[in-house]
A and B are shown apart, each in its own frame.
Chain A
Amino acid sequence: MTVTPGWYMALAAVLFVIGVSGLLLRRNALVMFMSVELMLNAVNLTFVAAGRELNAIEGQISVLFVMVVAAAEVVVGLAIIVAVFRRRKTASVDELAGLKG
């Protein structure tokens, strides 16, 4: 029994859905952010597996760019979370209801 790239893609899909569930069900902004990172990692795994199946190096190039964008996103996102925490003393997105009508 050999491991085909489809196995990796199935695992990546499961990881992505777990990330979606974390984003939808949790209310701690940090954990939601970590869920986004998990989703990005799952997509990266899909890129690498597809690149192997199609014998193309571009899959790994795409992973490199996704990692750069994710790093930039982490920097800005965590800065926003810290800035919000300094004003509101909370990291829970449910308590940020300042625009509630």
Chain B
Amino acid sequence: MVELGLFIIFAAAALFGAVTMVWARNPVYSAIGLMLTMFSIAVFYVSNGAHFIAAIQVIIYAGAVMTLFLFVIMLIGVDNPEDRVENLPLHRPAALALMVLFGAGVIVAGRSAWVTGRTVSGLGTIDGSIERVGGELFNNWLLPFEATALLLIVAAAGAIALAFFRDDEETGA
């Protein structure tokens, strides 16, 4: 019963935040809306027993990533809200058709039964503590975990390389 109440409240909050993110003309409001959605999803993680993932969600996504977004928004200025005039005539109908197509696909997939080789436990809770996640990660997923370290270093090096571009070094433009 508690889970039902939490689901209703935070599903409404998540949808409100997501719609605000798409609808707001000011990017700051978009970032705040996305932050609300991410906090709501963290609550859903707790409801599903994924306590460690919920903590990571709040720290990395709602904390670090959204702070980075807000930094960049402030850096490149917020004083030019975009107009809503669309230049391509077929863009919006095509986009809406794609969204309807995807929704229909999700409904069709949701009505199918998938053979996964695992028994469905239904409503049982799953232990998402740090011990359980860490044990699984370092016993069975060690190589992918090390590969993420390489990925993060490459990403950081790429960001530094992009930051070293200067306008006077450009030939064209």
Binding site for B on A (CB under 8 A): 1-11, 13-22, 24-28, 30-31, 33-35, 37-38, 41, 44-45, 48-49, 51-58, 60-61, 63-65, 67-76, 78-83, 85-87, 91-92, 94
- Shortest CB-to-CB span from A22 to chain B, Å, is 4
**Residue from the list B27, B122, B136 in contact with A31, Cβ < 8 A:** B27
Among candidates A26, A48, A75, residue contacting B155 with C-beta atoms closer than 8 Å? A75
Interface size class of B (residues with CB under 8 A): 35 or more
Residue contacts A-B, CB under 8 angstroms, 27 given: A2-B123, A3-B3, A4-B123, A6-B110, A13-B106, A15-B14, A20-B99, A24-B99, A31-B21, A37-B34, A37-B61, A38-B37, A48-B44, A48-B50, A52-B50, A55-B119, A55-B124, A60-B50, A63-B53, A67-B56, A69-B148, A71-B152, A75-B155, A75-B159, A78-B72, A82-B162, A94-B87
Q: What A residues does B69 contact at CB under 8 A?
A: 30, 33-34, 74, 78
CA distance A101 to B30 in the complex (A): 33
Specify which chain A residues have a CB less than 8 angstroms from the CB of B95 in the assembled complex: 21, 24-25
- Known contacts A15-B18, A28-B27, A65-B144; A83/B163 CB under 8 A: yes
Which of B4, B125, B136, B173 is within 8 Å of A87, CB to CB?
A: B173
Q: How distant is B57 from chain A, measured CB to nearest CB, in Å?
A: 8
Q: B103 contacts A17, CB within 8 Å?
A: yes
Whether B116 pairs with A8 at a CB distance below 8 angstroms is no
Q: Is the CB of B37 within 8 A of A9?
A: no
Instruction: Let me know if A76 and B155 touch, CB within 8 A.
Output: yes
Cα-based distance from A25 to B53 in the complex (angstroms): 31
Q: Are B167 and A48 in contact (CB under 8 A)?
A: no
Q: Which residues of B contact A3 (CB under 8 A)?
A: 3-4, 7, 47
Beyond known contacts A2-B123, A17-B103, A71-B155: 14 more, CB 8 A cutoff: A13-B103, A16-B106, A18-B21, A20-B99, A45-B45, A49-B44, A51-B48, A54-B119, A60-B128, A64-B133, A67-B57, A68-B151, A76-B162, A79-B158
